[in-house]
Amino acid sequence: MSDTAIFAISLAVTLVGLVVSWGVYRRRGAGTGLRGAALSLVPLAAAMTGVTAFFVDLTFDPGRWAGVAVAGLAVLLYVVSGAMISRRAGASGGASGGAAGGKAAGGGRQKSAGRSGGQAVEGPAAGGGDPEMAEIERILRDRGIS
């Protein structure tokens, strides 16, 4: 497609969008009308910067589609490797104790005290912590969510 045709189509889409934005401005106010005008200018800006020509060339060029597929594969592999690394770190992190082990042990004590004691508020929050958090914890325990 020629640059002139791309520019003409983009200009037509922009003008239609600006007319619609003017109607939206009259009905819904300045904020919505300005947002519509901003979005209406995007096709013209894309044509003037050459972005539209890039996408037109991309659409009809199988070599570029192959490049897009390779880029997509690279992103997919990166995300999968991140999930695998975090899963491995999570499995070894729980066995290494430290501060996380102390929290788990405290949570276990609080849970067992809630089932056997039947007290309204218990655990660390009852001794001077945030009373709202203690109430939320109590509600969650009553519903069986821990």
Residues 1 and 56 in one domain: yes
Task: Give the tens place of pLDDT for each residue, 97-142.
Answer: 444 444 444 444 444 444 444 455 455 545 567 888 889 899 998 9
| Max Cα–Cα distance, the chain, nearest Å | 80
C-alpha distances in Å from residue 28, one per residue of 25, 43, 101, 127, 139: 6, 23, 56, 54, 44
Number of domains making up the chain: 3
What tens digit of pLDDT does each residue of 56-89 get?
Answer: 777 777 887 888 889 899 999 999 998 888 888 7
Considering the domain architecture, whether residues 52 and 88 belong to the same structural domain is answered as no
What domain range is 142 assigned to?
Answer: 102-146
